Amino acid sequence: MKRTYCTVCDYPQTACVCHAISPLQARTNVIVMQHESEVNHAKNTVRLMRLVMPNIQVFVGETAEDFIELQAYLAQASKPIYVVYPSGRSQTVSQSGAQADCIIILLDGTWRKAYKILQSNPWLQNYPSIHLNVEHASNYIIRKAKRPDSLSTLEATALLLSALDKTLNTEPLFAVFDAMVQHRLSAMPENIKARYQLNDKEVK
């Protein structure tokens, strides 16, 4: 039988997350440089972000030529611009002095693919880098990561927005994220589900 999809969230009807969607308005401009391999990935959290924050901008590619439009946009921007990537020269939000009214650029992909985007786009070095102090493991337990500080792009965005604006309620991002994770876990056979570390969360 052919799957039917929700016309709003574009997830299968059996995994619809519309009940968990509520809009989030942030002063920060969020830009995502997404590796092309992530676009159609079923567990891509940028897709969830766009349901909650339709104003985020997503540019797909890997090389500098793929991001010419983005480079032109940033060249005309009047707000401070920060690249979100941990490195020897990156700072925390508080160290950088970044304010909510800025532009943040996130690289969406595995660590290897995000690094490839960074290396293929040396123009990103023109902007200061910021990083998160990750205190807790990711709740993205349905997608394995090699690094303990790995966060989904959605989680990283939510934490950064909170760091930039202490008054902003980022719960809408986590709500739709948790709904997706719970749907996927509940659909797994018990023997498969048992392989995942559930972080003490109840799987319904």
pLDDT in tens, 13-41: 888 999 999 999 999 999 999 999 988 77
pLDDT of residue 13: 86
Res 15: pLDDT: 85
Whether 104 has a pLDDT exceeding 90, the answer reads yes
Mean pLDDT estimate for the chain: 84
Instruction: Give start and end residues of each alpha helix (H) in 77-152.
Output: 93-96, 111-120
pLDDT at 194: 54
pLDDT of residue 2: 74
Q: What percent of the chain has pLDDT above 90?
A: 60
Lowest mean pLDDT among 51-65, 95-109, 134-148, 158-172: 134-148
Q: At CB < 8 A and 24+ separation, what contacts does 193-199 make?
A: 196/141, 196/142, 197/141, 198/141, 199/137, 199/139, 199/141
pTM for the complete prediction?
0.83
* HSE value, Cβ hemisphere, 13 Å, CA-based, for 152: 25
Residue 44 scores a pLDDT above 90? no
Mean pLDDT within 112-116? 93
β-sheet bridge partners, residue 59: 33
pLDDT at 135: 59
Question: How far is the C-alpha of 87 from the C-alpha of 124, rounded, in Å?
Answer: 13
Q: Any idea which of 88-92, 136-140, 175-179 has the lowest mean pLDDT?
A: 136-140
What pLDDT score was predicted for residue 149?
52
Q: How much is the average pLDDT of 138-158?
A: 64
Strand ranges (DSSP E) for the chain? Answer: 29-34, 57-60, 81-84, 103-108, 129-130
Q: Determine the topology of domain 26-193 in CATH.
A: Alpha/beta knot (3.40.1280)
Count of CB atoms situated within 10 Å of the CB of 185: 18
pLDDT, mean of residues 48-71: 96
Q: What is the pLDDT of residue 69?
A: 97
Percent of the chain clearing pLDDT 70 (strictly above): 80
